[in-house]
Amino acid sequence: MKIVLIKINLILLLLTSLSGKNLSYESISNDISYDIYNIDINNDGLKDIIANNKNGNELLFYINKHNKFEKVYSGENYSFDGIYSLVKIKEYKEGDNILYIKTVFNGAGGEIREYFISYVNNNWKLNKSISIYSTYLKTKVCIFNNSKNNEKCINIKNEDNNFILAITRRLKKKLDISFISTEYIFSLLNEYRLLPINLTPYNNLAYYLEQAGAYKESIYLLEKILEKYPNRIVAYINLGDAYLGNKQKTKAIKAYKKYIELMKKTGKENKIPKRVLELVNDSKTLAKNQSQTTSQKEEKTFFSKLLQWFGISQHNKNMSLMYS
């Protein structure tokens, strides 16, 4: 089967109805032919509604306005008249993205297509799409970046049962660095869940991303790891390194401090890298100096106000000291 990515500028304009239907939320809320998803689609902090027509290719958006849902968009759900099945819709907020849609080809070949929808200036649009097609020998992954109007594909041999290891091996050789994005990592995490069996492979992937200068992607993955496994010690030093590379020194020091704390608790203090200790100690010294400077300024301000209270100017004080 040939992989064909849909290279389109999908602009989902507010208050635009492509289907011409005027279905209210009330009319579909109890209709079993629609799947209902509660997702904040316009970034106002309120849960809105996305309704997918399981018997067709229609996707409906309803905005929450004072607990009433107003239909603002209807269009394709990427099933292409039943050629693909929509299997997942999830909230995905990273950068401009708000929504993730996953579809699966209904025929032979098992192709997966994933779509990342962004929301910018009151417009919805397709940001990225990923196509994954597997055979017995290899897996082909293609990413189409709509904003740059380009497509990148890689072929990965099915040498073992761990796809993350295969990606990491290529990244270790400085291959496919530009291919990896937070969207692709999100896709991996959906396909290969963060479980103990995948923890080390994911941590290694994050490490080699940081080594390759993909700091944003490394940070995204490490934060996901620590969100689920907060005592994963090595992830904290890797996160600190990634933050530092991304010029986020304050966050880097916070991650290093947590790493040092956990290393001490497990009796591995002597294995803490010298560079980490020096950076954290330097930050403590700087904070101490800043505190002393602030204290001195406050002391000077206090005495100046005290002199003013007694009616003694700084000039008179200096004169009295000269002639005493």
Position with higher pLDDT, 46 vs 290: 46
For residue 91, list its beta bridge partners.
99
Position with higher pLDDT, 13 vs 121: 121
The token pair at 106 is 């209904």
Whole-angstrom distance, CA of residue 256 vs CA of residue 101: 36
The pLDDT value recorded for residue 294 is 47
Position 206, amino acid: A
**In the chain, where the domains are located:** 1-104+114-123
Write out pLDDT tens, residues 126-157.
Answer: 889 999 988 878 888 999 987 677 888 888 87
pLDDT above 70: residue 19 = no
The pLDDT value recorded for residue 104 is 93
Q: How confident is the model at residue 174 (pLDDT cuts 50, 70, 90)?
A: confident
SS3 for 134-203 is ECCCEEEEEEEECCCCEEEEEEEECCCCCHHHHHHHHHHCCCCCCCCCHHHHHHHHHHCCCCHHHHHHHH
Report the SS3 class of residue 31. Answer: coil
Q: How confident is the model at residue 311 (pLDDT cuts 50, 70, 90)?
A: low
Task: State the maximum Cα–Cα separation within the chain, in Å, rounded to a whole number.
Answer: 102
Range with the poorest average pLDDT among 116-125, 167-176, 198-207, 305-314: 305-314
Write out pLDDT tens, residues 33-82.
Answer: 999 999 998 888 899 999 998 888 888 999 999 889 999 888 788 888 88
Average pLDDT over residues 118-130: 83
59, 50 contact by CB (below 8 A): yes
Q: At a CB cut-off of 8 Å and minimum separation 6, what does 108 contact?
A: 1
Please give the helix or strand (H or E) that residue 283 lies within, else none: helix 274-309
Instruction: Among 104-113, 199-208, 312-321, name the most confident range.
Output: 199-208
pLDDT above 60: residue 296 = no
Q: At a CB cut-off of 8 Å and minimum separation 6, what does 130 contact?
A: 112, 113, 114, 116, 141, 142, 143, 144, 183, 184, 187
Range with the poorest average pLDDT among 74-83, 99-108, 117-126, 159-168: 159-168
The token pair at 239 is 């996160």
Q: How confident is the model at residue 187 (pLDDT cuts 50, 70, 90)?
A: very high
Phi, psi of 225 (to 5 degrees): -60, -50
Tell me the pairing of strands 112-120 and 97-105: antiparallel
The token pair at 319 is 């004169």
Q: How far lies 293's CA from each of 53, 288, 289, 290, 297, in Å?
A: 65, 9, 6, 5, 6
Whole-angstrom distance, CA of residue 251 vs CA of residue 238: 12
Average pLDDT over residues 178-188: 90
Whole-angstrom distance, CA of residue 112 vs CA of residue 141: 10
The pLDDT value recorded for residue 308 is 65
The pLDDT value recorded for residue 304 is 62
Q: At a CB cut-off of 8 Å and minimum separation 6, what does 72 contact?
A: 14, 15, 61, 62, 63
Q: Mean of the per-residue pLDDT values for the chain?
A: 81
Write out pLDDT tens, residues 223-266.
Answer: 999 999 999 999 999 999 999 999 999 999 999 999 999 999 99
120, 96 contact by CB (below 8 A): yes
Find the helix packing angle between 249-265 and 274-309, rounded to 10°.
Answer: 120
Predicted model pTM: 0.77
